[in-house]
Amino acid sequence: MRDIDGVLLNFSPSSLILLNAILAIVMFSIALDLKFSDFGRLARAPKPLVTGLLSQFVVLPVLTFGLILLLQPRASIALGLILVAACPGGNISNFITHRAGGNAALSVSMTAFATVGAILITPLNIAFWGNLYAPSREILKATEIDPVQIAITVSLMLALPLILGIVINTKKPAVADKFRKPMQNLSMLIFVAFVVLALAANWSFFLDYAHYVAVLVVIHNALALAGGYTTATVAGLSDYDRRAVTIETGIQNSGLGLVLIFGFFGGLGGMAVVAAFWGIWHAISGIALARVMSRTEAAR
């Protein structure tokens, strides 16, 4: 079996450009649900939003680092877990929160704020937590990632489409209403197809390491969901808001993770497998949790 820390996946520069474009379309479709007035309402009652962002950018990385110290995974796998935990919420979190009977508006706003915040926080979290674990520190030293370049990548791929979508929904609501659902459905379909094709191109490698990485991803995702639930409970949020924070913390933007892995880490095997499995598993666990939550109406 090949050393997972030294394997680079088959992923062409043109594929990376395509993935960037797909994620930009996904973020644009999410932003068509937002207006600038939504941010004003949250500013008047910021507690649920602040709690959610704290859960995502502080609690989850801390839990991730604790898991790494406990299980001592290979360097590239550990850095993959850290990178996923440093990403903002995933695009399907809004859909899953709605299915769970949670505060979908809070979920969308968390995605928006976390995406903008990720411009600075994501590279800082990767560098900080990655350097605390000696094996992954060696990868970071060899890679010499540029936090400024990561921030630029996140801005172009996520922040700009987000702002454009909000502007259109605010200034031209009829246009946003017309294109919202088709854009959301199309973007999800394209993203899923892209992941399937990427997996097919590296199928033998994924088979080699699936059993090892899958267990870690399942545990990591369970920690993320539990961390979100506990943080929201300690903060005294209503069940309606707690469902949104729980799901938003447990659904990470693994697509962004893959872009960063292929763009800055050369498609390092362990990191890419972690992000790819996260992209599959968090959808399964999130939808399953939403079905359980939806059995009872959330108190507001």
Residue that has been written with the tokens 């594929």 in this structure: 15
Tell me, what's the pLDDT at 201? Answer: 65
Rounded to a whole number of angstroms, the CA Rg of the chain reads: 18
Tell me, what's the pLDDT at 4? Answer: 62
Considering the domain boundaries, does residue 299 fall inside one?
A: no
Tell me, what's the pLDDT at 267? Answer: 73
Is residue 3 very low, low, confident or very high in pLDDT (cuts 50, 70, 90)? low
Statement: residue 198 has pLDDT above 70 = no
Domain count within the chain: 1
Considering the domain boundaries, does residue 21 fall inside one?
A: yes
Range of the domain at 207: 4-293
Q: Other CB atoms closer than 10 Å to residue 234's CB: what's the count?
A: 11
CATH number of 271's domain: 1.20.1530.20
Tell me, what's the pLDDT at 259? Answer: 81
pTM of the full structure: 0.85
Mean pLDDT confidence for 223-238: 97
Considering the domain boundaries, does residue 251 fall inside one?
A: yes
Mean pLDDT confidence for 22-29: 80
Q: In this predicted model, what pLDDT tens digit does every residue of 89-144 receive, in sequence order? A: 877 888 888 889 998 888 888 888 888 888 889 989 999 999 999 999 988 887 76
CB–CB of 249/225 below 8 Å? yes
Is residue 251 very low, low, confident or very high in pLDDT (cuts 50, 70, 90)? very high
Statement: residue 6 has pLDDT above 60 = no
Q: What percent of the chain has pLDDT over 70?
A: 87
Helix (H, G, I), strand (E, B) or coil at 219: helix
Tokens for 284? 């399964």
Tell me, what's the pLDDT at 1? Answer: 44
Q: How far is CA 205 from the centre of its chain?
A: 23
Considering the domain boundaries, does residue 298 fall inside one?
A: no
Considering the domain boundaries, does residue 206 fall inside one?
A: yes
